[in-house]
Chains A and B, each alone.
Chain A
Amino acid sequence: MREPLREIDKLADQRRARAARLMNRRKTKTAYLFLLPYLALLVMFGVFPVCYAIGLSFFDTISGAFAGLSNYHLALDDFRLGQSLLNVGTYVFMWVSLMVVGVVVLASIIDVMPRWLGTTVRTVYFLPGAVTSAAIVVLWLFILDPQVSPFSFVFSLVGWENRFQVIDSIGLAGVFTLMAFFAYAGGWIVVMHGALTALPGEVMEAARIDGCRPVGLAWRIKIPMIWRTVALMAVLSLANGLQLFVEPQLLGLAGPQLARNDWSLNQLAYQYAFALGDFGVSAALSTMILMLSVSIALWIVLATKFYRID
């Protein structure tokens, strides 16, 4: 009596499983229909260009022959590469340090201000973020010119009389650091301040009752509690800084004496493609720069828990 029933059960299970499979397959199909426009763009402007650049980097693009690693040799042997690595390295080091110290200090100060004052001050810090790419270079070429600069009184104090002297004294890495801090610090101050206000009030209250002064409170309690956000800012700034292009490229606006076309790594790659027409070496350089950034990105996603992927 039991046997036939078991058979029917088995049959029903199989049917249910098949229905579920069918259902799942339909669901997957629908999901990919929703994803279609995005995936098309992802392939066209993410996956394909990367693969193509990697492929191209193994070819002599002028003769069209397979060239093995010779493009990489050519790029690595370029005497300008070491210098531009050093330039970008100096800039990134200065910029990331200034961001970590500056943003944390300024955000911590806003956190202890009366609310209305804090909001106003934060807005002033934040607005230069609107000055981007081309406009920031134009603006800063004026700022660095003692004859018209809003900070001319500072320059006259230290005795710098013209723009060359100013840029020479600060150094190009320093100039780009100031530009980038001017434009990007404000956005991160807003974020950091958001992180500070989200800290639990009881902890702050307890520390205050224990006699912790505002400076100690910031240094011993608040900053250790937001260090993850600080670290994320540092890593993202680092990844971004390595890609410097627009600022050095546009310095030539101030005259040929200041023009630099191989100051940063990206400029060098650009030079190979546009001045020499050697796409192979350009692709080799781009590939190396890209791999650096992608490794940083992969590390952030896989090794830290800043972003959720589930």
Chain B
Amino acid sequence: MTHAGSAPQRRPLWSKLRFWHLCVGAIVLFALCFFGLPLLWLFLAASHTDSSLFTAAPFSWGTWRNVAQSWSNLTQYEGTHLWTWAFNSLIYSVFGVGLSLIAALPAGYILATENFPGRRIILLATLVAMITPNAAIVLPIFLEMHLIGLNNTRVSLILATGFFPFGVYLAFIYFATALPKEILNSARVDGANAWQVFYRVALPLAKPAIALIAFFSFVANWSNYFLAFVLLTDDKLHNLPVGLTSLISGARALSFSAATGIPIRRPEAILAAILIVLPVLVIFLFSQRFIREGQLAGGDKG
């Protein structure tokens, strides 16, 4: 039950209960079910077979052997390239995050510390690009990649996800607010050139900003679907979300007209979903504060 933060009184707890306490309790309980139960169910359901999913109680645990069986179906069926997709996901994420950091940190730093012609328009373009949803630009990017013949290559996706205006804005805000000007000036007086001031002085002080940018960039890249789906048609190049959904779709694992003879059924689909979700979930467990810092700094598109 929830309480208002009122001053403690020496009356029994139940006498403080009001009608609105019950309403609030009901809302919280409802919301906890809505947000919590599906995730709980997902992890429990992976332990069932295709038939025991229907017969067992909704939140029961099956057996580890079922998990192992689904896993081997998922990895060994000839139509899957699970390891390739996982490898691709890793490559796309690592290089995407790396590139976005390499581009965003110096850009945000210089926008925050120097005044030069064109600075305002670059900031404006960055903000507009940041607020415009990614999905809006996916087809134009595809058309461009088609023009220069880069579609269906790993490079195209990595370069496209390396463009991360939100990261530039985060770096800009960080360097503008959290980096004392005196430190930079004293480094300049000591004879450091612009690059040395950035690399030796500003960058080591920017670890929180680096973590923040890497977090948002990783979450965006790991679960990237639309762009990867449109740019990469070769199934050896797919990342986990695109590869696994095309597999589930091809095997008709979630549809009623079953019986394709392919060992990719509901438990495998559940395991696949867990595989896509798990890395982000683990990071999320430790990163609520990132979300708040990031969105207070200027909003994320999520």
Contacts and interface: CB of A to CB of B under 8 A. Distances in A.
A307 B2 contact: no
A213 B3 CA distance: 12
A35 B140 contact: no
A225 interface: no
A179 to B, nearest CB: 10
A286 B284 contact: no
B126 interface: yes
B62 interface: no
Contact of A41 (B117, B123, B162): B162
Interface string A150-194: 111000000000000000000000000000001011111011001
B296 interface: yes
A150 B273 contact: no
B39 A128 contact: yes
Contact of B255 (A48, A131, A232, A253): A253
Classify chain B: how many residues form its interface, as a range: 35 or more
Interface in B102-133: 102-104, 106-107, 109-111, 114, 116-120, 122-133
B295 A187 contact: yes
A93 interface: no
Given A38-B104, A187-B295, A191-B291, A253 B35 contact: no
B226 A30 contact: no
A297 B54 contact: no
A77 B291 CA distance: 43
Contacts of A269: 139
Classify chain A: how many residues form its interface, as a range: 35 or more
B189 interface: no
A143 interface: yes
Contacts of A279: 143, 146
Interface in B246-298: 248-249, 252-257, 266, 269-270, 272-273, 276-277, 280-281, 283-285, 288, 291-292, 295-296, 298
A53 interface: yes
Nearest to A255: B255
A300 interface: yes
A126 B137 contact: no
B142 interface: yes
Interface stretch (A11-19, A62-70, A79-87, A108-116): A108-116
Contacts, number: 317
A184 B122 contact: no
B280 A130 contact: yes
A253 B257 CA distance: 11
B135 to A, nearest CB: 4
B8 to A, nearest CB: 12
A10 B75 CA distance: 81
Contact of B35 (A37, A186, A300): A186
Given A44-B163, A130-B277, A147-B54, A49 B144 contact: yes
B19 to A, nearest CB: 11
Nearest to B5: A112
A35 B135 CA distance: 25
A297 B280 contact: no
Contacts of A142: 41-42, 45, 254, 266, 270
A292 to B, nearest CB: 8
Interface in B10-63: 20, 24, 27-28, 31-42, 45, 53-54, 58-59
A141 B106 CA distance: 44
B114 to A, nearest CB: 5
B224 A52 contact: no
Nearest to B128: A297
Given A53-B140, A150-B59, A186-B35, A28 B273 contact: no
Given A128-B38, A298-B128, A191 B296 contact: yes
Given A37-B103, A49-B141, 19 more contacts: A30-B114, A31-B116, A39-B107, A42-B126, A53-B140, A106-B27, A126-B291, A138-B270, A142-B266, A143-B41, A150-B59, A152-B58, A182-B35, A190-B292, A232-B299, A255-B254, A282-B139, A283-B140, A309-B120
Interface of B: 2-6, 20, 24, 27-28, 31-42, 45, 53-54, 58-59, 99, 102-104, 106-107, 109-111, 114, 116-120, 122-144, 146-147, 159-160, 162-163, 165, 168-169, 173, 176, 194, 198, 219, 223-226, 230, 241-242, 244-245, 248-249, 252-257, 266, 269-270, 272-273, 276-277, 280-281, 283-285, 288, 291-292, 295-296, 298-302
CB-CB nearest 7 A-B residue pairs:
A255-B255, A243-B135, A49-B140, A133-B225, A38-B107, A297-B131, A132-B223
